[in-house]
Amino acid sequence: MEGKVALVTGGTSGIGRDTAILFAKAGAKVVVAGRREAEGQETVELVRAAGGDGLFLKADVSKASEVEALIKNAAERFGRLDAAFNNAGIEGVWAPIIRQTEEDWDRTIDINLKGVWLCLKYEIRQMLKQGGGGAIVNMASIIGLIGSAGVAAYSASKHGVIGLTKTAALENAKSGIRINAVCPGFIETPMADRIFRAPAAHKYFLSCHPIGRFGKPTEIAEAVVWMCSDRASFMTGQSLVLDGGFLAGPNSPG
């Protein structure tokens, strides 16, 4: 990644923050995007502490004008865009379909799925403008590969990301732009802390991971940086599962 420019949306905490730091350690200049400016600036300071050059740009990925401005400003600041991790997302309200509100459905889909689509749209345009080449990783989930009771909007959004990833990869393969998705199991992040607030939920989902623990943000970040590097040059249109054995066993929630 030496000398390349990488963008991380949702870079204010968790997997996004760790990925931004690892991009910097790999030699990339890093643009951190998110809605929370204070946390975004903290990530940039960590990027700089890792020896990298970083910039925070505030953006809501569900709004086309903000995503377009994000990519434009990133390219103007560093001259180009070589890699992107479309990581911004929310868990939404976990509830049965019959109790889920239209507002929650719309918000979850707008950020998790429409947001990835908008980022792809403007990232790909920028990469094509540069003459092609580049790598993009979208944040999906193991819940994008299975059904799970009570998480309809989240599951639908992540299934959508996987389909979107495959389509974008096919459309841009001949331009040298590789597009993949990462599908983590449950990772120790602020989002997971909210989901597992109830001890019973924590115990149950932990039991679904044969490895005996939840993942760490840096374990996902390592994979994302690799997928964006030339070492993964033959990989496109794929969904990489990192789940501690979750999908291999019979205990997946449903």
Are the C-beta atoms of residues 65 and 120 closer than 8 Å to each other?
no
> Whole-angstrom Cα distance, residue 52 to residue 28?
7
Q: Is 176 left (phi over 0), alpha (psi -120 to 50) or beta?
A: left
Residue 183 tokens, joined: 């599908």
User: SS3 helix, strand, coil % of the chain, rounded to 5?
Assistant: 50, 15, 30
> Whole-angstrom Cα distance, residue 127 to residue 56?
20
The helix (H) or strand (E) run that includes residue 16 is helix 14-25
- Tell how strand 239-242 and strand 54-58 pair up: unpaired
Q: Which residues are catalytic?
A: 154
> Whole-angstrom Cα distance, residue 102 to residue 107?
9
Residue type, 159: H
